[in-house]
Structure formats: C-alpha cells, structure tokens
C-alpha cells in the first residue's frame, strides 16, 4: 500500500463515511508535513481533530502505532502547540483548532527567522570591519577536510544534505538506537524510493524492524548486535563519510559527529562495511560466519583486517573527542 493510501485508510476503518474524504485527508496530511510534522504526527493530529478527545491507548490502538512512539508523537505535538492535554487519569489529548495550531507553528518559525536575520546583519557588519590578512595568493593543494557537527539537528541536516548529493551509492551502518533516531527524524523516508544504490546495515531486533516496512527489503540487512558497539557511520559514493564520535547519550544536543572526505578514512569505513555486508542476508536473517566454507588462513586474514579497521576508527573517534574536549576548555 502506498504512502498516501496508508494515511486515510487508518481513519476509514473507524467510519466508512470518511471514504468520501479520502483525497482531502491525504492533502491535509501532506500539507502538515510542510509545517514540520512527520507523517505519524499528522495522522495523530487529524485523528484527534476529527474524532475528538482521546487517550494515548485509544490513539495507538486505533492508528496501529507502536505504543512508545505514540507518546513520543504526542509530546512533540504538545511542544508545537498543536494539541492540549488534561490532568485526568488517564490523560486525554485534544487537537487545537486547525487555524490556531498552524498559526502557532508559523509564529514560532517567523520569530526564529527574524532573530536569525537580525543576528546575521550584526555579524556581517562585524565581519566586514575585519580586513583580510592573506599574503600568499597562490591556491594550495586542497587537503583532506573535516567538519565537526554538534547536536542532532545539525548532524541530521548534514545527513540529508549528503544523501541529496549522492550520485551512486549511499551506505549506512548503525545500531538499533541509531536507526530509531533516524526513523523519528524522518531520515529513513529519504531512501524509500531511492534512485541510488542504498544499503542499510542494522542490529535492530525483530521488535523494531517495523521502521523499515516502507523501505525495499533488498536495502536492509541485519547484523549481530554485538558487532555495532557504539559505531555508526554513513558513506557517500566512496568519497565522503560521516561518523559519530558520541551518539550513546540521552540528550540530542550532546550528539557529536564528524564529516570528512579523507580518502584513507572513507576507504577504511568502506572496507569495514563491505566485510560485514558479506556475512549477512538480505531477508533479515543474521548469517553465521562461514568458517566451514572458507580456508582458515582466509578467515584469519579477514578477521585481522576487520580488527585493524575497527582499531583505526576507534583511534579517530578518540582523536576528535580530544579535540572537542580541548576546544571546550579554551
């Protein structure tokens, strides 16, 4: 079932009279995405707006949403000013009038942009007062580049940018926690109908594999959970990479990642990805290392290669973590 069909079909199970409004419901859901709502947030708001006050259990049962995700969605909608909640037990949630809800989002965004514009003009004036100090005008050979990314918003925006500029291959390696964050931030929606070669390696358990339901099964492969540790990285076209230095905390603002086009680092990450990919299955099952079908020396070589790559990435993580620590103490 397509994305649009799934939006309205959830409501049609409750009231056949809504069948006449299928297209209108889809348009509203699509329109709300432009206001920053995810598809599931839009479904939840529409459900509350058309069926009235509801408890969280009735919402996730009616919309067939995961229980924990439903509370996450409701919390987000409250922060946006889209819904209200009572002090009753159990708590009941109600949608604010549509015009009130959308106006709250627009006003908040307008205020943020106005402040950014003012700050930008002030910084521009200061910048223009500072002369250029470059003496050597000869263009030097471009070295490997690194960019530090702090906080979930900055990191996820960079990931979206990387994918947008991908021409051939987009590879992602991460743990269950990493992919759940990508799912809630709608990053997985980017690859649903991808025109490039996408491969996703994940340690998600069977309980959380639902996040890949709308993604082609050939894109997703499961790996043993113990392999991922705290490692998460993304590779674009074998030329750029983004890897997380700190991603195991609870606060989104504490997340730390590095983007680089260093050939040595990108190559190391690609070798690690390919080695793990070769020991998994497309159908979601974890494949055992094929010791019986491979020579002992060949297996030892691959094992040493994998360990070397993991040590290299570990040292890179330590290096950038130290840089960030020194920067904060200055």
Statement: residue 60 has pLDDT above 80: yes
User: Of 33, 66, 99, which one is at a domain's C-terminal end?
Assistant: 99
**What's the structural domain count of the chain?**
2
Whether residue 156 sits in one domain with residue 78: no
Full domain range(s) for residue 165: 146-329
Instruction: Give the list of residues 6+ apart from residue 222 with CB closer than 8 angstroms, or none.
Output: 202, 203, 204, 209, 280, 281, 284, 285, 286
Domain membership of residue 112 (yes or no) is no
User: Of 44, 79, 99, which one is at a domain's C-terminal end?
Assistant: 99
The reply to whether omega before 90 is within 30° of 0 (cis) is yes
Q: What are φ and ψ of residue 230, in 5° steps?
A: -105, 20
Give the residue carrying structure tokens 């989002």. Answer: 105
Mean per-residue pLDDT for 8-28? 65
Whether residue 170 sits in one domain with residue 88: no
Domain membership of residue 129 (yes or no) is no
Domain membership of residue 110 (yes or no) is no
Domain membership of residue 134 (yes or no) is no
Cβ contact 274:196 at 8 Å = no
pLDDT band at 208 (very low <50, low <70, confident <90, very high): confident
* CATH number, residue 221: 3.30.870.10
Helices 39-51 and 67-80: angle between axes, nearest 10 degrees: 80
* CATH number, residue 50: 1.10.10.10
Q: How far apart are the first and last CA of the chain?
A: 55
Which SS3 state, helix, strand or coil, does residue 295 take? coil
Statement: residue 140 has pLDDT above 70: no
Mean per-residue pLDDT for 98-121? 88
DSSP code of residue 206: G
Whether residue 177 sits in one domain with residue 38: no
Max mean pLDDT among 158-167, 199-208, 257-266 falls in 158-167
Domain membership of residue 62 (yes or no) is yes
Spell out the SS3 assignment of 222-250.
ECCHHHHCCCCEEEECCCEEEEEEECCCC
Cβ contact 265:199 at 8 Å = no
Alpha helices in the chain (DSSP H): 3-12, 22-33, 39-51, 56-62, 67-80, 98-129, 152-164, 176-184, 225-228, 263-277, 296-329
Whether residue 325 sits in one domain with residue 204: yes
pLDDT band at 216 (very low <50, low <70, confident <90, very high): confident
Tokens of residue 225, six digits: 């959970």
User: Of 78, 99, 120, which one is at a domain's C-terminal end?
Assistant: 99
Max mean pLDDT among 35-44, 277-286, 301-310 falls in 35-44
Domain membership of residue 141 (yes or no) is no
Domain membership of residue 108 (yes or no) is no
Domain membership of residue 123 (yes or no) is no
Instruction: Give the list of residues 6+ apart from residue 124 with CB closer than 8 angstroms, or none.
Output: none
Whether residue 317 sits in one domain with residue 223: yes
Mean pLDDT computed over every residue of the chain: 79
Which residue has better confidence, 132 or 284? Answer: 132
Mean per-residue pLDDT for 77-103? 89
Cβ contact 44:70 at 8 Å = yes
């Amino acid at each position: 079932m397509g994305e649009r069909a799934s939006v309205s079909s959830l409501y049609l199970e409750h009231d056949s009279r809504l069948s006449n409004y299928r297209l209108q419901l889809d348009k509203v859901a699509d329109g709300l995405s432009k206001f920053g709502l995810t598809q599931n947030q839009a479904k939840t708001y529409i459900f509350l707006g058309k069926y009235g006050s509801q408890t969280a259990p009735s919402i996730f049962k009616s919309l067939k949403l995961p229980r924990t995700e439903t509370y996450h969605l409701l919390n987000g909608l409250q922060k946006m000013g889209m819904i209200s909640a009572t002090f009753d037990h159990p708590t009941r949630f109600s949608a604010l009038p549509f015009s009130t809800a959308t106006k709250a989002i627009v006003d908040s965004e307008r205020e943020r942009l106005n402040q950014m514009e003012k700050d930008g003009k002030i910084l521009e004036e200061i910048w223009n007062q500072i002369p250029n100090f470059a003496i050597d005008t000869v263009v030097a050979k471009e070295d490997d580049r690194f960019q530090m990314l702090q906080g979930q918003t900055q990191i996820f925006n960079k990931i979206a940018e990387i994918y947008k500029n991908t021409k051939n291959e987009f590879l992602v390696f991460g743990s269950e926690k990493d992919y759940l964050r990508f799912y809630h931030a709608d990053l997985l929606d980017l690859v649903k109908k991808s025109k490039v070669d996408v491969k996703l390696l994940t340690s998600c358990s069977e309980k959380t594999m639902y996040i890949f339901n709308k993604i082609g099964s050939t894109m997703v492969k499961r790996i043993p959970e113990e392999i991922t540790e705290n490692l998460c990285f993304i590779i674009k076209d074998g030329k750029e990479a983004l890897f997380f230095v700190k991603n195991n905390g609870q606060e989104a603002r504490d997340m730390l990642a590095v983007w680089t086009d260093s050939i040595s680092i990108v190559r190391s990450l690609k070798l690690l990805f390919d080695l793990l990919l070769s020991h998994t299955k497309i159908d979601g099952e974890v494949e055992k290392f094929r010791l019986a079908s491979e020579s002992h020396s060949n297996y030892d070589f691959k094992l040493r290669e994998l360990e070397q790559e993991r040590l290299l990435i570990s040292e890179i993580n330590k290096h950038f973590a130290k840089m960030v620590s020194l920067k904060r103490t200055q």
